[in-house]
Structure 1
């Protein structure tokens, strides 16, 4: 008997932050039944990391960013994304091999920074599952064991390398710009003159141009770079960059990655997610963007899943939608 036929495969464990908590993306597999993590066979000449990312995109519609295995605290060199484990698993005959064979499976771990953004048409039904659901799901025992361990380490793995010190001068400039931004917006509606509105427009354009230059030079200004309060100011400038929607979407991608790394407030990511989606003519997720209804009262722009919006708001720490609308209405009188 000769050596068994070996197929190179990849399995990806894609995680995303849902508010303060992590969830793992799993698919309902039509052939095996139950839930599995996405993945697949490597094509001829294909790197297994590419196989993993392709598998996630094709099977779930999500774009995953692969993570390197976590190194010990204090290790001085950055790591590159790679397989966390390589295991050999017996496999039954399938469409690729008419006899029993072996899968050399390259297990990778990744993050999806925007779990509500779906690209293309997913091949399978996908769901984001929390740690406590692992014991209830119909999943292979090896997947259950490894997923439980990955939930334990994902926070550190996603965090990346922290910067050495907060840049106080940059943070102070962000806070100064935030103060100016809020000063014009807090003027009561009845007192908003044409001169004020022109100042409002010019201020937003200047802040957007400044933020664009900052990001090009330094990347997203998260808490590790400018401090938590000033990081919130950076989000506010992006939130008000409506006149440049392509740049605003770029800010969303960068902010979402900072949220994943624990370097930005998840609520800021949710607010900008809704803002960008509305600008693109899509339904929002969290109901944070409001407009005037036919009777003049504030109502949310269309929400993608009204039955889940309150649960999602609670997971992200937002108040119930009715309370939120009342508070916004009181602030703009």
Structure 2
């Protein structure tokens, strides 16, 4: 007795829902050659109701569209239309688990009459979105970080406040350096020697019960999870501040943690071979991690409309 093969993963690709395994791009794709694209990482969590709740979808899509405008990319859809695409993509894939969404808008091909070379005008645009199952991947006991020898580019060199694909070679080099040396992640400094961010996350320290993170207007991406954690800390009565940090501040901190869409709130228990605090996740990091997890899973009241829910029953049937 044979069973009907389960359909493969579905992607949204250049205006249509397609089989993700067979979607193709021309080898001449400009975004591949020059890194002229912008992307987002978006999480959706399975609720106790059986729905998928996408966290701060509007904010992620607004940032995607802002980055696309910066690179003269016409996404071809409004934020409302992209929300509908995301919902349909989740329903078509029918993944009854926590998932990760990766939209990427990019330069595609030279338009007739455009001279070859690096450019943003005279090039067609495209949008693709893929979805995959993704649960928590950071160890509960915390992570260890290396302070990278690679420096974060200045915002005068590349717009670091947008998630530009080509700029992430810097992040990849730093993370490769850290993992090759036996660490879990890298913390990058800026060209002045101040803490910029981790490979794909913002950095926080806790000292004397106060949570401190570098200002949002520096050479770093002001993360959506960063903003969420600052808001949750205020709700919990935890004092917060924005201030420049250097490597010594990391080593003197009672606690250090990272925040990002992928890692959530991730306590750092060691930096450059030295323990942070007593080498275990601290009380402030732990309560913020738990509160964030309850928030994204809809188990905490007052989530400020941060959750956009989509039913999966139809797709699963």
Q: Per residue, is there more helix in 1 or in 2?
A: 1
Alignment TM class, shorter chain as reference: under 0.3
TM-score by length of 1: 0.26
TM-score by length of 2: 0.27
